[in-house]
Amino acid sequence: MAALRLVGLCAVLAAVVAVAASRSAPVSRRVQRNATHFVTNSYLHTDERAFPLHRPGHNRDSGARKCIDIPACNAVVKHVRMEALKKMKEEKHDECAAASLCPRNRLFQSGAKCVNGKAGQYDCNNVDLQSFVPISAMGSTYDASDSWGWTDPETGNEIAIVAMMDSTSFVDITDPINPVVLGALPQTGSNKVIWGDMKVFANHVFIVRESRNHGMQVFDLTKLRPYYNTPSSYVRELKQDAFYSEVTSSHNIVINEQTGFAYLVGTTTCRGGLHAVDISDPLKPSFAGCFSDDGYTHDAQCVVYNGPDKAYKGQEICFNFNEDTLTIVDVSDKSDMKILSRVTYDLAYYTHQGWVTEDHTYLMANDELDETNGPNKHTRTMLWDVRSLTDPKLVGSHYAENQAIDHNLYIKGDYGYLTNYCDGLRILDATSMASGKAPEVAFFDVADYCDSVDFQGSWSNYPYFKSGNIVVSSIELGLFVLKPTF
pLDDT in tens, 386-411: 999 999 999 999 999 999 999 999 99
Pairing relationship of beta strands 216-220 and 242-244 according to DSSP bridges: antiparallel
Segments of the chain scoring below 70 in pLDDT? 1-31, 76
Residue 124: φ, ψ to 5°:
-160, 165
Other C-beta atoms within 10 Å of 243: how many?
A: 12
- Write down the number of H helices and E strands in the chain: 4, 33
- Vertex 163, ends 181 and 467: CA angle to 5°? 55
Amino acid in the structure at residue 110:
S
pLDDT at 31: 58
For the whole model, what pTM was predicted? 0.93
| DSSP output for 335-401 | TS-EEEEEE--TT-S-EEEEEE-TTSSEEEEEETTHHHHSS--EEEEEEEE-SSTTS-EEEEEEEEE
Q: Across-strand partners of 428? A: 416, 440
Q: How far is CA 127 from CA 9, 132, 335, 415, 423, in A?
A: 44, 14, 46, 14, 14
Are the C-beta atoms of residues 172 and 159 closer than 8 Å to each other? yes
Backbone Cα Rg of the chain: 21
Are the C-beta atoms of residues 156 and 147 closer than 8 Å to each other? no
pLDDT at 16: 37
pLDDT at 27: 39
pLDDT at 14: 37
pLDDT in tens, 174-208: 999 999 999 999 999 999 999 999 999 999 999 99
pLDDT at 437: 97
Amino acid in the structure at residue 206:
F
Rounded CA-CA distance 448/132 in Å is 14
